[in-house]
Structure 1
Amino acid sequence: MAAITDYASLLIDAGEYSGRDDVAHLFPRFVALAEAKMNRVLRIADMETVGTVVLTNGDGTLPADFLEAREVLTPDGYSIGAWSLSALTDRYRNRGGYPQGYAVVGTTIMARPTANGNLTMTYYANIPPLTRTNPTNWLLEKAPDAYLYALVEEIGIWAKNVELVSGARPLKENAMAGLTLADNRARWGNGQVTLSGVTP
């Protein structure tokens, strides 16, 4: 088996592993389904990006590839946290000023008190979709096995092949768990416990 380096080689290997190279015309659908499932679970540093959200009366449109906020900074550089929508509304109803918190509603971020300006957001972004015209991305380069087994699983689901699904799924989950473990070690391998707030 040759190394998986791009979209084409991924599809070749997925066809060989699944024994279903006769459904190549469906592979784009399978890849999209596999990516959708991985986007729901995976949260590692490679997914982090920084973007700007323009606020108008406290509301701004989230980036198209937004999954989850990691840090949100106000125009003056202060970090604000997520609130429940009801708590944010009750606390800052009809008030203006520097934002103290935010809530995500659909594709909108609501910062309150209301203000204009830009939020700087570090967030987890969707895995860049693999296609024939976008044949590689960071995940395929870093963990081709995760992509391979995720794709084989989708082929098995489509084919109603329980054995194929039950074989591919744990391999996919192990690959994703390995990514998360490596990410945690990279972030916190030499970390120390630091207490915040008042200590005795």
Structure 2
Amino acid sequence: MSLANYTDLVSSIGNWLKRDNLTAVIPDFIALAEARLARDLRVRAMETSASGALSSDTLPLPSDAVEPKSLTVMNGSKPMRVAYVSPDTLSDSQGYSAFPRVFTLIGKNIVMAPAPDSAYSYTLMYYAKLPALAANGTNWLMTNCPDVYLYGSLLQAAPYLKDDARLPVWEQLYKDAFESTEVSDDRSAQFTMRVRTDVRV
């Protein structure tokens, strides 16, 4: 059976469960699997950026952010990486204005120190939430790793299945699919092109 989109996934989960009384809660299983993936998965396909101008020491995280990766602020024409520190360490650099050197997370905000003394341009790299299948039909993870979605969703049926012997099998299949996704991402990130020295232009 094809696993290309949300409709395919709902149908496949129903076939695997072989339980007619769970049809109404299959969308919940998918949503819960996505919540687990949002906590655990960090791959390059989730990376995106937001840019703007700093107007204060507090910068709200984008609404789709699950975790910041880096913050770069322009010092004139030179991009400067702002270092992440703990909230306690940040307090040592607060109380005055200058070029921001450090930042931390407090709630859903990035807080910098020193407070910017000018409207500096910034670029925030962050990991974005997985686009929900129910709203989008498909997404990059469903396209590339449908097994992660399938086994992750099946595991969310555990409270209904209790001592079902299939649960440990699905858990292992999910773990294998998840780890394979991470390994594939690491391999792509480490790929380097072999330099050709025999080409003349």
Identify the TM-score tier after normalising by the shorter chain.
0.7 to 0.9
Query: Which residue number corresponds to residue 195 of structure 1?
Result: none
Q: CA deviation at 1:161?
A: 4.1
- Contiguous gaps of at least 5 residues in structure 2: 194-201
Given residue 11 of structure 2, which amino acid in structure 1 is its aligned partner? I
Structure 1 pair 175–4 and aligned structure 2 pair: CA distance change class (3 A): same
Counterpart contact for 1:72–1:80, Cα < 8 Å: yes
In 1, Cα distance between the equivalents of 2:27 and 2:121? 37
In 1, Cα distance between the equivalents of 2:26 and 2:121? 40
In 2, Cα distance between the equivalents of 1:183 and 1:99? 32
Q: Which digits, 9 at most, give the CA deviation of each residue in 1:66-94, with x for residues without a partner?
A: 1222221113321112101111111x121
Moved over 2 A (4+): 52-57, 116-119, 156-165
Q: CA deviation at 1:53?
A: 5.8
Structure 1 pair 87–156 and aligned structure 2 pair: CA distance change class (3 A): same
Residue 124 in 1 paired to residue 123 in 2? no
Query: Which residue number corresponds to residue 189 of structure 1?
Result: 191
Residue 83 in 1 paired to residue 85 in 2? yes
Query: Which residue number corresponds to residue 199 of structure 2?
Result: none
Q: Which digits, 9 at most, give the CA deviation of each residue in 1:138-187, with x for residues without a partner?
A: 10001000000011111133432442321211111111100110111111
In 1, Cα distance between the equivalents of 2:71 and 2:114? 15
Structure 1 pair 53–65 and aligned structure 2 pair: CA distance change class (3 A): farther
After TM superposition, the score normalised by the length of structure 1 is 0.87
Query: Which residue number corresponds to residue 178 of structure 1?
Result: 180
Given residue 66 of structure 1, which amino acid in structure 2 is its aligned partner? A
Larger C-alpha radius of gyration, 1 or 2?
2
Residue 5 in 1 paired to residue 4 in 2? yes
Query: Which residue number corresponds to residue 102 of structure 1?
Result: 103
Given residue 32 of structure 2, which amino acid in structure 1 is its aligned partner? L
Counterpart contact for 1:53–1:60, Cα < 8 Å: no
In 2, Cα distance between the equivalents of 1:28 and 1:54? 40
Query: Which residue number corresponds to residue 57 of structure 1?
Result: 56
After TM superposition, the score normalised by the length of structure 2 is 0.87
Structure 1 pair 162–100 and aligned structure 2 pair: CA distance change class (3 A): farther
Query: Which residue number corresponds to residue 114 of structure 1?
Result: 115
Given residue 124 of structure 1, which amino acid in structure 2 is its aligned partner? Y
Counterpart contact for 1:68–1:123, Cα < 8 Å: yes
Query: Which residue number corresponds to residue 154 of structure 2?
Result: 152
Query: Which residue number corresponds to residue 17 of structure 1?
Result: 16
In 2, Cα distance between the equivalents of 1:86 and 1:8? 48
In 2, Cα distance between the equivalents of 1:48 and 1:105? 21
Q: How many residues align?
A: 188
- Contiguous gaps of at least 5 residues in structure 1: 192-200
Counterpart contact for 1:152–1:164, Cα < 8 Å: no
Question: Aligned-residue CA RMSD in angstroms?
Answer: 1.8
